[in-house]
Structure 1
Amino acid sequence: MQKIILGKTGIQVTKNSFGALPIQRISKKDAVYLLQKAFYNGINYFDTARAYSDSEEKLGAAFSYIRGKLIISTKTAAQTGEELKKDLEESLRMLQTDYIDIYQFHNPAFCPKPGDGTGLYEAAEEAKREGKIRHIGITNHRIAVAKEAIASGLYETMQFPFSYLAADADLEIVEMCREVNMGFIAMKALAGGLIHNSACAYAFMDQPQFSHVVPIWGVQRESELDEFLSYQVCPPSLNDELKAEIEKDKKELAGDFCRGCGYCMPCPAGIEINNCARMSLMLRRAPQEGWLSQEWQAKMKKIEECKNCGHCKSKCPYGLNTPKLLKKNYEDYKTFL
């Protein structure tokens, strides 16, 4: 299997890596089976977070007995040094380990630095000295914060959304990381479910200019895992057919669209923003029946209760006018009923 050195960490990880956010939606038994199948078929890097409900617990159940043979990264959304210490201890307990390979600040609205008054970076450094974490990383959805983190020299890895739908500004982040030998971990390589052909996504990531990029594929079903495992044996090449599909997707998804990251949540009116705000795309890119169910009709109708409070708009890392996007999607949705 193709392996990548993750920047200055010196860690060697599989180009095909496992994003463990989706396993919080399946049973512990099924999650352990998927995780172990991934490992025994060559995948050695698994990414989770304290915020992913029981994802860490499932990784711990799957890997406690072979901990030294794989790489685990997790994340903290702590706002203070004391909160970070509590999060870290809970992550270590759930993962059934005494160290974490890469400990990441989880999408902070600012770039944590020594002396910024939060104590976050100092707490991470202390944990590193104690051997509880081995490398300090950061994840983000904001271009400005990502650039500041890269320029700071404080972080060994950057986890950032990246797929073939990436804008020029996103590509700049990827290149900046390469120039300073900072590990680049690509989240949302399938654009939050909007990209349906995983062969296209894989072939795009496999280009020489992205040889330093490690995509973490979110896996929930065995069929999804099998797809990515098959690419290890027979990697898809970026032929004319796949290039045409990529160009078609780029045209269809150009402009402002919701990535489904969920950082706008929760909504004071109870609207499921991360799905409702991209309903028009989902209706056109997936079987419609599921999205037109009574359950989804009720969820979309909640948009009528939008308070226009601006809460979601202020928290969107992509600067979207979310209330406007919700209403536009709702009007379009009604034309399908």
Structure 2
Amino acid sequence: MEYTIFGKTGMKVSKLGLGGAPLAGDFGKTDENDVQRMIHEALDAGINFIDTAPKYGFGESERRIGKALVGRRDKVVLTTKAIRSDLTYDYNSTIQSVEDSLQRLQTDWIDLLQIHDVETQPYELVVNETLPALEKMRQEGKIRYIGVSTRDLPLMMKYMKTERFDTIQFYTRYMLADHTAKDEVLPLAKEMGLGVINGSVLGMGILAESPAPFLDQETLDEAKERLDKLSFLRKTEPRGLIEPGMRFSLSQPDIHVTLTGADTTAVLRTNLSFCDGQGLDPEDQRKVYQLFQGQPLFS
């Protein structure tokens, strides 16, 4: 396992992190006992970063993670989010969201609390109510650091420039078929010393040729064209672009944590095999960067 320093937080984190959405069965039915075993195997393999949210399984992901971490909590950088995009991110709701997460996770503190999907909320509400609530809880020692999460990169940069965040998390914005985060967001995050988390590096299943069922046909058609242009990367797999997709993110020095959305130990072990410090061939990397320059895949 490779490790890096998570921006100005100073925390040492594994470059591969465990994402919590699949653990609650959001992408298919999961067995709780299997999930418990997988979490322990991830920890035993050196993963020390777990990311979840109240939205995942409406709290079930947090509950399962909390159960698995009994006796091992101090070995993990634990991150969750507030609140849920179907709720309003007002001051009191934010406080309650974090308190509920603490109970489900069976912990007295959360290392990183991120504001989830800020594009769903008015900017003024987040700045004037959500952030102050989290800052209060940081003063109380219930959370250590504050982050912001969205795939809307211009909005992300607006929040970054408030200088009130320690970390950022985007998804589907640094992957083989859409690497728009590299143009402005990653350089600014590096300049500001922010920790960077990259989610959905397989583009909601597109790079694994198992696209999420909620994706619209226009996006799927565009994705197929992009996959055809990326066919030169198909060197080790009969199906999909999983290995080059994972290596593309894991080898980016300005991304501190690449999340794996494993729901079985088999998927976990496959992703762990890419944590050897080996990125794409430099010529292949150059070709990827030339493709789709400045062209996001998802709206």
When normalised by structure 1's length, the TM-score is 0.68
Aligned to 1:126: 136
Report the RMSD for the aligned CA atoms in angstroms.
2.8
State the identity %.
Answer: 26
Q: Deviation at 1:157?
A: 0.3
Question: How far apart in 1 are the matches of 2:127 and 2:245?
Answer: 39
In the alignment, is the contact (CA less than 8 A) between 2:186 and 2:254 conserved in 1?
no
Deviations 1:173-198, CA, capped at 9 Å, x for gaps: 11211111111100111111111233
- Helix, strand or coil at the partner of 1:191: coil
Matches within 5 A, 1:159-174: 159-161=169-171, 162-168=174-180, 171-174=183-186
- Structure whose alpha-carbon radius of gyration is higher: 1
Aligned to 1:192: 204
1:49 aligned onto 2:53: yes
Question: How far apart in 1 are the matches of 2:164 and 2:40?
Answer: 33
Higher helix share: 1
Aligned to 1:300: none
Matches within 5 A, 1:1-337: 1-25=1-25, 26-53=30-57, 54-77=60-83, 78-109=88-119, 116-117=127-128, 119-161=129-171, 162-168=174-180, 171-196=183-208, 197-207=241-251, 210-232=253-275, 234-239=276-281, 247=288, 257-258=297-298, 318=299
How many residue pairs are counted as aligned between the two chains? Answer: 254
Residue 21 of structure 1 aligns to which amino acid in structure 2?
Answer: A
Residue 257 of structure 2 aligns to which amino acid in structure 1?
Answer: V
Q: Deviation at 1:144?
A: 2.2
Question: How far apart in 2 are the matches of 1:13 and 1:224?
Answer: 21
Q: What residue ranges of structure 1 are gaps of 5+ in the alignment?
A: 259-317, 319-337
Question: How far apart in 2 are the matches of 1:144 and 1:243?
Answer: 25
In the alignment, is the contact (CA less than 8 A) between 2:198 and 2:255 conserved in 1?
no
Question: How far apart in 2 are the matches of 1:98 and 1:122?
Answer: 20
Q: Deviation at 1:247?
A: 4.7
Question: How far apart in 2 are the matches of 1:214 and 1:142?
Answer: 19
In the alignment, is the contact (CA less than 8 A) between 1:204 and 1:238 conserved in 2?
yes
- Helix, strand or coil at the partner of 1:226: helix
Question: How far apart in 1 are the matches of 2:140 and 2:265?
Answer: 38
Q: Deviation at 1:168?
A: 3.5
Q: Deviation at 1:107?
A: 1.0
Q: Deviation at 1:39?
A: 0.3
Question: How far apart in 2 are the matches of 1:38 and 1:56?
Answer: 16
Distance 1:138 1:256, change over 3 A: closer
Aligned to 1:281: none
Question: How far apart in 2 are the matches of 1:179 and 1:95?
Answer: 33
When normalised by structure 2's length, the TM-score is 0.77
Residue 173 of structure 1 aligns to which amino acid in structure 2?
Answer: V
Distance 1:66 1:113, change over 3 A: farther
Question: How far apart in 2 are the matches of 1:66 and 1:84?
Answer: 27
In the alignment, is the contact (CA less than 8 A) between 1:81 and 1:123 conserved in 2?
yes
Distance 1:158 1:240, change over 3 A: closer
Q: Deviation at 1:30?
A: 1.2
Distance 1:50 1:206, change over 3 A: closer
Q: What residue ranges of structure 2 are gaps of 5+ in the alignment?
A: 209-240
Which structure carries more relative contact order (alpha carbon 8 Å, separation 6+)?
Answer: 2
In the alignment, is the contact (CA less than 8 A) between 2:168 and 2:194 conserved in 1?
yes
